[in-house]
Amino acid sequence: MTVKLLGIETATEACSAAVLIDNEVVERFEVAPRKHNELILPMCGAVLADAGVSVNQLDGIAFGCGPGAFTGIRIAASVTQGIALAHDLPVASISTLANLAYQADVNANELVMPAIDARMEEVYWAIYRKTLDKVELIGEEKVQLPVDVGIEEYVSCGLGTGWGAYRDILQQRLVASTENVIEDALPHAQVTVRLAKHKYLDQQMVDAMNALPVYLRNQVIHKKR
């Protein structure tokens, strides 16, 4: 059985789209802060053309659901809803942190810690176990001050803009500090589609209306009364 998936990722300053056909992936990727809205559909058109498929031949669509910039993850979710609605496609929500974790260069079954700069002096972070071609969340994804990050497991790689902003503090939170840190790692749609393929094969896809962002930060207002 062939699997054809489109994936988009706009949660950070990076904007990307990818098409997976079985094990082959084509991607367009650009670091373009605040331009995701203009770039994303032309990018989707470009990767579909590169892969030689049209939207109505897709089996599903995947998107980076966050955590990340609120507007960015909402654009990804909205675009996904629109395309999924139009062609009645099932949807896979792929965590931005899982996306980073997948990029870690470690041995199978080692733990990695992706962290994204969440502004307001906080980071979005999580611990993932990296297996051969998957990642598995250990515990839950959180938004916290770097000094409040609590890790009990041995982590062998740190990656993401959270490490770029708070490397020293995060190192101190680890059981043992690690040399394997990639501060400029950004989520890629090619990973989004690879992780989505598992959801597709495991029949864990959802309906368009459930293509929703994962914000983690829910304190967006201080009640006046």
Partner 1 sequence: MKVLGIESSCDETGVAIIDEKGKLLAERLYSQIELHAQYGGVVPELASRDHIRKITPLIKETLKAADLTLNQLDAIAYTAGPGLVGALFVGASVGQSMAWSLGIPSIPVHHMEAHLLVPFIDQASGLQFPFLCLLVSGGHTMLVQANGLGDHQVLGQSRDDAVGEAFDKVAKQLGLGYPGGPAIEKLAKQSISKRDDFPRPMIDHPSLDFSFSGLKTHTLLEYKKAKQLSEEKADIAHAFQQAVTDTLYAKCQQAIEQTGLDTLVVAGGVSANRGLREKFNQLDDVNVIFPSMKFCTDNGVMIAYTGLQYALAEKFVGTNEIKVYPRWSLQQ
Minimal distance, residue 167 CB to partner 1, in Å = 30
CB 130, min distance to partner 1, A: 31
d(CA 75, CA 16): 12
Other beta carbons within 10 Å of 144 = 17
Q: One symbol per residue from 23 to 62: x for binding partner 1 (CB under 8 A), - otherwise; what is it?
A: --------------xxxxxx-xx---------x-------
Question: Is residue 177 classed as helix, strand or coil in its secondary structure?
Answer: coil
Task: Identify which range of 18-26, 106-114, 159-167, 205-213 contacts partner 1 by CB under 8 A.
Answer: 205-213
DSSP state, residue 13: S
Instruction: Compare residues 74 and 134 and give the one whose CB is closer to partner 1.
Output: 74
Applying the rule CB under 8 A, the residues between 118 and 147 that interact with partner 1 are: none
CA–CA separation, 53 and 68 (whole Å): 30
In terms of CB distance, is 44 or 155 closer to partner 1? 44
**Shortest reach from residue 73's CB to partner 1, in Å:** 10
Q: 136 in the Ramachandran plot: left (φ > 0), alpha (ψ -120 to 50) or beta?
A: beta
User: What gap in Å lies between CA 26 and CA 17, rounded to an integer?
Assistant: 8
State the distance between the two ends of the chain, measured CA to CA, in whole angstroms: 58
CB 217 within 8 A of CB 67: yes
**Dihedrals φ, ψ of 52, to 5°?**
70, 30
Q: Which residue lies nearer to partner 1 by CB, 66 or 114?
A: 66
Minimum distance of partner 1 from residue 31's CB (angstroms): 18
Residue choice 3, 32, 53, 70 for contact with partner 1 (CB under 8 A): 70
Query: Which residues are at the interface with partner 1 (CB under 8 A)?
Result: 37-42, 44-45, 55, 70-71, 74-75, 77-83, 85-87, 208-209, 211-213, 215, 220-221, 223-225
